[in-house]
Amino acid sequence: MLKDKFPLDQRDKVSQQRKEEFEKHKERTKTELSKVLLALPNSPLQYPIQGVTVVPLRRSLIPGLALQAEALSSYKVTLKVSKGVLGSDDSDRAVTVTGKGEAELTLTSGSLDRLNAVLATISYTSTIYHVHTADLVSFSFENHQAMFPIVIRQPQLPVLFNMGTDINSQVTITVKTFLRYNNLKVLLSSIRSFYPNMTVIIADDSFEPEKITGDNIQQYFMPPAQGWFAGRNLAISQVTTKYFLWADDDFLFTEDTKIEKFVEVMEAHPELDVVGGSVQGNQFDFSLEYDEGDETEGGCLYRKSRGRFTALPGHPQCFLASGVVNFFLARTDSVLKSRFDPLLQRVAHSEWFMDGLGSMMVASCGEVSIQHQQKTNTNLYNKYRTPSGNSDETFKYQLHFFKNNLKCIKFG
């Protein structure tokens, strides 16, 4: 229970601050697309149920509008919107159009065919600018009413990478190091045994930085002891290839560290953002189950170790999951949209996958593996890696309470 991680005299104040921030979050992320729309039976109204997307402030036709009704002396249909205006071709004198250029449009005619011809010209223009929202259209005839969404979306420019034909132009290796230059040098030596020309980017926040030299090595120095996630952000921000491979500074490449297999899986499944391997046989994949709970108390998250979903089609040795071990290949542009929280300096790993839940597709493929070097950590390193007390752990849970609007976390 995360609220219990705060001192008693702070709980009400922190809860109120979180409530205010959560209301702003809902306002920022809510959309008409989340509303449940029910189609009533035997409706004479024909309309698009999905797929209508318009550019903000730009006129677009609404496809598929029509009335399928029995013979009557007169027909009248009405359309209403809330975030735009409607238009139509009113040159047919057999059809009376009222409300053109407004949020409510009415068409009246004694001819069903002529009415449908004008319905085919109905247009929508949003009156708000938003990069991704929606409007709900009400379409009515007599006592029949239908609702359907129009998505208002600013088109995005694609971000494409020229992969070339060589693994070195496809993948960059990224490493965060702190006080472990001996381990780092062993790692780099093992990398060069199998990938002599691949670029390696190192984020370094050691107290007394040591320059690492060699071809295709980029070393970036940080203020001392900034932490693991801050270093990850720095290293990945400098990647120019389509993919990057994350490795700890005490890992060891072997003949089973086949980056090409990772790339093969990612290229075969463009929907994937991350594919993890195994470290000394440990895949450490897990699933996350999230119950949003109520708005006052917050939600609950269940992290289930070895939790997997389904096998990856075409790659039966791979399984979809919520998170993987700390050895993975990732799509650079995807990860740049889901940063590593620099507030988490030491006690962190699954936290990134928690923040990416619902936006990142993750798979675990144990056939690609890497080894761990024997532990040779110094006392100074251990002091920072595992500080005395549980202050880092407590801070992490306090962060989850506020940032993720969580009431509780369960590990199992």
Domain membership flag for residue 230: yes
Q: What's the pLDDT at 88?
A: 95
Above 70 in pLDDT, residue 239? yes
Strand spans (E) along 121-160: 123-126, 132-141, 144-153
* Rounded Cα–Cα distance for residues 137 and 146 (Å): 8
In the listed set 128, 153, 178, which residue is the last one of a domain according to the structure? 153
- Both tokens of 43, joined, read 């409706």
Q: Does some domain include residue 306? A: yes
Average pLDDT value for residue range 197-222: 96
Same domain, yes or no, for 190 and 149? no
Token pair in block for residue 175: 């490493």
Q: In CATH, what number is assigned to the domain containing residue 118? A: 2.60.40
186 and 58 housed in the same domain: no
pLDDT in the model for residue 315: 94
The pLDDT confidence band at residue 32, using thresholds 50, 70 and 90, is confident
Q: What is the mean pLDDT of residues 224-233?
A: 92
51 burial (CB, 10 Å; 0-12 / 13-18 / 19+) is: exposed
Confidence of residue 336 (pLDDT cuts 50, 70, 90): confident
Residues in the chain: 412
Domain match, 137 and 183 both: no
- Residues 363 and 289 placed together within one structural domain of the fold: yes
Structure tokens at 32: 């008409």
221 and 88 in a common domain: no
pLDDT at 400 over 90: yes
**188 and 300 in one domain?**
yes
Contacts of 12 (CB under 8 A, 6+ apart): none
30: exposed, middle or buried (Cβ count in 10 Å: 0-12, 13-18, 19+): exposed
pLDDT, tens only, 342-395: 998 877 789 999 999 999 999 999 999 999 998 777 766 766 666 666 788 899
Chain segment 33-63, per-residue pLDDT in tens: 778 888 878 899 999 998 999 999 999 999 9
Residues 130 and 185 in one domain: no
Residue 247: predicted pLDDT: 96
Mean pLDDT of 324-337: 93
As a whole number, the mean pLDDT across the chain is: 93
Contacts 24+ apart (CB under 8 A), 190-193: 190/252, 190/253, 190/254, 191/253, 193/253
Whether 16 is in a domain gets the answer no
CA atoms within 13 A on the CB side of 134: 18
Q: Is residue 22 part of a domain?
A: no
Per-residue model confidence (pLDDT) at position 166 = 93
**Residue 57 falls inside a structural domain:** yes
Q: Does residue 187 sit in the same domain as residue 134?
A: no
Residues 6+ apart with CB under 8 A from 96: 107, 108, 109
Residues 169-192: tens digit of each pLDDT = 999 999 999 989 999 999 999 999
Phi, psi at residue 172, to the nearest 5°? -115, 140
CA neighbor of 30 nearest in space, from 181, 136, 167: 136
Same domain, 291 and 393: yes
Report the number of distinct structural domains present in the chain. Answer: 2
Neighbour-count burial for 215-225, b at 16+ CB within 10 Å, e otherwise? ebbebeebeee
Domain assignment of residue 106, given as a range: 39-153
Same domain, 236 and 120: no
Evaluate whether residue 161 is within a structural domain: no
One domain for residues 126 and 225: no
Distances (CA, A) of 194 to 92, 167, 188, 257, 410: 74, 11, 10, 9, 41
The answer to whether residue 31 sits within a structural domain is no
pTM for the model stands at 0.86
Q: Are residues 230 and 373 in the same domain?
A: yes
Choose the final residue of a domain: 123, 153, 183: 153
pLDDT at 388: 65
- The answer on pLDDT for 298 being more than 80 is yes
105 located within any domain: yes
